[in-house]
Amino acid sequence: MGGWYQLGIVGLYGGLLALERRAILQAMFSRPLVASTGMGVLLGDPTTGLWIGVLLELFHLGGASLGASLPEHETLSATSTTAAAVLMAPGESASPALWSLSILLCGGSGSFGRWLERRLDADTARRAEQANTRAEHGALGKAMRENLWALWAPFWVFGGATVLFGGLGLLLRPVVTDLSGALMQGLTWAFPAMLTVAAACGVRGSRSREAGRWGTLGGLAALLWVVGWWLGGEGA
């Protein structure tokens, strides 16, 4: 029951931050460092939230919505990755190994979030046209409802997406306890490697064309590191 209750918190928090990101307030609470740390605090593991937030903030540094150009949805990536790491931990604080595993599983959710956002923007534009038409005909109440529905859509969609990705941690919790020590040690050492790559992305500017290449290279390097450590440990 505790896990399902936590998923409810994950969905509510993810939906609210999706609104804060573009529709309401826009006070930077949806940035990875703040969003991830907040998720960690809500789930009882602020340390995990802080470290994952630092990594993802560096990687997404400089990302901003500029006209029709949409960056990856850094908020979904931060909240879902942190939720997965915390929910994956079997009754204790998540370890650096679980931080790495959750990043490998959910770090790419930002691209999925951008895909969702493009479709929501199309729906928002349609509702705006309907609201203008109804306002011109004096139906102000119906026009206001169109605006409210345009706000509810990202709340439910991104709240559900956060649960979808973050819930992977809950599903994998029984499996994590059976992972070999060598694999967990490899994942532990992969986190500093990922942090280094994220810092390089931050220095170069995450809006540059090379950022995706750096991220892909870092993910592959971390994966090879983990596999090599695991095979070496199994061979010993």
Sign of CA dihedral 36, 38, 41, 42: negative
User: Whole-prediction pTM value?
Assistant: 0.78
Contact yes or no for 201/213 (Cβ under 8 A): no
Nearest to 182 by CA among 230, 224, 222: 230
Phi, psi of 107 (to 5 degrees): -60, -30
pLDDT given at position 235? 46
Ranges of the chain whose pLDDT falls below 50: 1, 206-208, 234-236
Residues 217 and 207 sit within 8 Å (Cβ to Cβ) = no
The letter for the amino acid at 158 is F
DSSP state of 209: T
Residue 119: the pLDDT is 84
Neighbours of 124 (CB within 10 A): 20
Count how many Cα atoms sit within 13 Å of the Cα of residue 21 in the half-sphere of its side chain.
Answer: 31
Give the Cα separation of 71 and 68 in Å (integer).
Answer: 10
Q: How many Cβ atoms sit within 10 Å of the Cβ of residue 49?
A: 29
Residue 197's contacts (CB-CB under 8 Å, 6 or more residues apart) are: 59, 214, 215, 217, 218, 221, 222
C-alpha 102/C-alpha 83 separation (Å) is 9
C-alpha angle 189-201-64 in degrees, rounded to nearest 5:
130
Taking the CB of residue 120, how many other CB atoms lie within 10 A of it? 17
Instruction: Please say whether the beta carbons of 34 and 52 come within 8 A.
Output: no
